[in-house]
Structure 1
Amino acid sequence: MNSNKPYFNEEQIEYFYPIVKRMVRKIVVKMPESYDEEDFVQIGMMGLLKAIDNIDITKDENAFYKYALLKVRGAILDKLRSVDLVSRYTRDKLKSISKAHKDFLKENIFDASEKSVAKKAGISMKEYYKAMFELSNLDIVSLDNIIEDEISLQESIEDKNIKSAIEVIEKNERLGILKKALSKLTKIELDVLSMYYYEDFSVKEIARIIKKTQSRVSQIKINAIIKLKHLIEQEYINRKIN
């Protein structure tokens, strides 16, 4: 650790530990084999230490807090990706499910049932639910990497620093595209995405609030992300044409 930066003391560890633990419980829906919650808490704490090594926490506490949470989340997600929770079988099924959603959206069908999606994807409901279960831990970036479509959902929604008038216009355009895409999701999809990504509720907490099972909430979240990705892609294409 850089000796010119403040040491991470016991009081700070005690402050961040429950925050990191909650983040683990939110992100790691299905614990990988041979890992437990404390393993991921320690991984998150290592991300916190990296944050401290990269920024002076005495200058701007709010900026550090936000930065630290990003590093903690990143460390946890990096570990999940390295464990490679998703089998080739499920990757293939996800691509079929993604294509089915895309086909429905092209037909302006925004609320296709899971049964209809599975049928169009050419898989059974048992295969569908198995894929959803395996995918329950995946974040936006991981889904992007598996689906491998032209437009990155992460790129569309991330908040980047603006350095020029052109970039401001581009950011405003992205926000407009995102808002239009969001307006085409069902209410329950919007509610789940909002609670999970913006209100910081865990899948378990969302399940209790909307009175659904945790597996059902995970299914809604995954389907909503896939649909949102394709809706954003369609809107990009439409704007290029027009």
Structure 2
Amino acid sequence: MGFNNVSFNDEQIKYFYPIVKRMVRKIVVKMPESYDEDDFVQVGMIGLLKAFENIDTTKDEKAFYKYALLKAKGAILDKLRSVDVVSRYTRDKLKSISKAHKEFLKENIFDASEKSIAAKAGMTMKEYHKTMLEVSNLDIVSLDEMLEDEISLQESIEDKNSKSAINILEESEQINMLTKALSKLSKIELDVLSMYYYEDFSVKEIAQIIKKTQSRVSQIKTNAIIKLKHLIEQEYTKY
């Protein structure tokens, strides 16, 4: 891999490699065709290397390691976006699903079944499951960009300075909005979001814990994110 840089020694490689490997297993739910895990681990390690080359590692080592891992995660996500392009058809279907969620939430229906969501979105269950499978690798930023809504969920849920943690927002109004929105999610949706973003479990690990399939966990996570996005928008309009 070419990590023969004086600022990135063998000891550091041994320390970071399993962390980056776990990061890949957490982020890449559905491996793109013709790629394997090692491809993404290498991309993450290269992201680390670039961080080591550009920053003085002697200053605040703990803070630097967080920064380096953030760069590794960014490199992995960038690569994933470049090879796992979502088709226009799937984008349109996802927007229909999002719109269906929004309509149910406006009616104060917070626990609409997937069958009801699919029906309101004008698609069969086969189309629904196919769409959810194809977007299983999307991160919050990608969903924000794809759904093109006014409120960025990235700013509300994901801490950019630590490993996939639900960020405690600084402003009291934002905290209040997020708290109210979260209170309207189901227990399983809250559990999945908490385990994924706060406790740093992979989709595979969450599936084992709640005794569901990985694809089912991915669907719960994506649906919860879409619902949370619209619930925060509802709370935002009240201010």
Answer yes or no: same fold by TM over 0.5.
yes
The aligned residue for residue 118 of structure 1 is 118
The aligned residue for residue 39 of structure 2 is 39
The aligned residue for residue 234 of structure 1 is 234
The aligned residue for residue 24 of structure 1 is 24
Deviation at 1:101, TM superposition (A): 0.2
Deviation at 1:158, TM superposition (A): 4.8
**What are the superposed Cα offsets for residues 183-219 of structure 1, whole Å, 9 maximum, x if unpaired?**
1100000000000011110000000000000010000
The aligned residue for residue 214 of structure 1 is 214
Is contact 1:48–1:68 with CA below 8 Å preserved after alignment? yes
The aligned residue for residue 49 of structure 1 is 49
Within the alignment, does 1:136 sit opposite 2:118 as a pair? no
CA distance in 1, matches of 2:50, 2:106: 44
The aligned residue for residue 99 of structure 2 is 99
CA distance in 2, matches of 1:120, 1:157: 27
Structure 1 residue identity aligned to 2:133 = F
Report the CA distance shift for 1:170/1:200 in structure 2 as closer, same or farther (over 3 A).
Answer: closer
Structure 2 residue identity aligned to 1:237 = T
CA distance in 2, matches of 1:14, 1:186: 40
Structure 1 stretch displaced more, 51-60 or 212-221: 51-60
Structure 1 residue identity aligned to 2:47 = G
CA distance in 2, matches of 1:201, 1:99: 29
Is contact 2:7–2:53 with CA below 8 Å preserved after alignment? no
Structure 1 stretch displaced more, 230-239 or 59-68: 59-68
**What are the superposed Cα offsets for residues 67-102 of structure 1, whole Å, 9 maximum, x if unpaired?**
111111110001111124311111010000000000
CA distance in 2, matches of 1:54, 1:177: 38
The aligned residue for residue 205 of structure 2 is 205
The aligned residue for residue 166 of structure 1 is none
State the SS of the aligned residue for 1:137.
coil
Is contact 1:136–1:219 with CA below 8 Å preserved after alignment? yes
CA distance in 1, matches of 2:222, 2:184: 16
CA distance in 1, matches of 2:159, 2:223: 23
Runs (4+) of structure 1 moved beyond 6 Å?
Answer: none
CA distance in 1, matches of 2:57, 2:172: 32
The aligned residue for residue 164 of structure 1 is none
Deviation at 1:58, TM superposition (A): 2.0
Within the alignment, does 1:13 sit opposite 2:13 as a pair? yes
Identity within the alignment, %? 82
Structure 1 residue identity aligned to 2:134 = E
Q: Note the residue ranges of structure 1 that are not aligned, 5 or more in a row.
A: 162-168
Is contact 1:97–1:117 with CA below 8 Å preserved after alignment? yes
RMSD of Structure 2 on Structure 1 (CA) = 1.7
Deviation at 1:120, TM superposition (A): 0.4
Q: Note the residue ranges of structure 2 that are not aligned, 5 or more in a row.
A: 162-168
